[in-house]
Amino acid sequence: MRPPSDSTSAEPTLHLDVNAVPSRHHSWRGVVIKGVVALLAVGAFFLLFHFVLEPFMPEAEAFVVKLGGWGPVLFVAIFLIGTSIFVPESVLAIAAGAIFGLWMGLVWVVVAGTISAVFMFILGRHFLRNRVESILNGHPKVRAIDAAASSAGFRLMLLLRLSPLSYTLLNYLLAVSRARFRPYLLACLGMFPGNFSTVYIGFAAKHASDLATRVKDADGHLPPGDSWVHEITLFVGLAAAILASVVVARIAMREIRKAADAASISAPETPS
């Protein structure tokens, strides 16, 4: 990789190892397998919440309430530090959904994700370039290749944000590429679909846990003011959010491949 260029003759862009982007599977077997994998992933998120996050939820909620307006500030700080050292963004987004609720959790995850993306861009580009490049060069799936296609910089970065690539890895990858800051920042809008589905998982998992407690206290019946229609709607909404994020991610990966093909850039073979 070459260091960032100050030249304005061409808009810098990022290209993926096209061979690392999975091709589409048209068989019913492939569809079924992907559906099972998606269900297992959702189940894994719920188990993650139940066994890892839920035991700390009462104390965490009480602590956040006690902090008042400083609670979101603390979350943003934890998100920034955690994701900078490769703590999965999804874990923190699930926690936000459980602690702050669906909509405020989404707000704080979007704010924290954008601030952290800016922080990692500055850190990777100006302070940890050599270290970041050594990590990325050893990653078999994604590499920055600093060539060409003048008009596709923002578009490709937005597609990358919509794709299921690691949030932290992508931030550092873009930091050491020739990507410019303004389109990089604007492309953070692409984090929204994934953020919404993971925050929703945390919110739904917390809701399910609370519901189980309330049903138990009500001798096996729904508590007054609640209904099965409301509960079913909530979890159908969760399924729809997850499905939408998966569809968007698939479309993004397909468009990334098309953009790379259109630019007629062949990525080098990944060394074995």
Question: What's the pLDDT tens digit per position in 178-232?
Answer: 788 898 999 999 999 889 989 998 898 888 877 777 777 666 677 777 777 877 8
Q: How far apart (Å, rounded) are the C-alpha atoms in residues 74 and 67?
A: 9
Q: How far apart (Å, rounded) are the C-alpha atoms in residues 84 and 67?
A: 24
Residue 260 has pLDDT above 90, yes or no: no
Domain boundaries, the chain: 27-262
CA nearest to 177, candidates 11, 8, 13: 13
Q: How far apart (Å, rounded) are the C-alpha atoms in residues 177 and 145?
A: 7
Average pLDDT over the chain, rounded to whole?
Answer: 74
Over residues 23-46, mean pLDDT: 60
Q: What is the pTM of this model?
A: 0.71
Helix (H) or strand (E) run with residue 39 in it: helix 28-48
Provide, for the chain, the percentages of residues in helix, strand and coil under a 3-state DSSP scheme, each rounded to the nearest 5: 70, 0, 30
pLDDT at 259: 65
pLDDT at 95: 87
Reported as a single tens digit per residue, the pLDDT across 92-145 is 998 899 889 999 999 999 999 999 999 999 998 888 888 777 766 665 554 444
**Lowest-confidence segment of 28-32, 37-41, 186-190, 241-245 by average pLDDT:** 28-32
Choice between 79 and 156, residue whose per-residue pLDDT is larger = 79
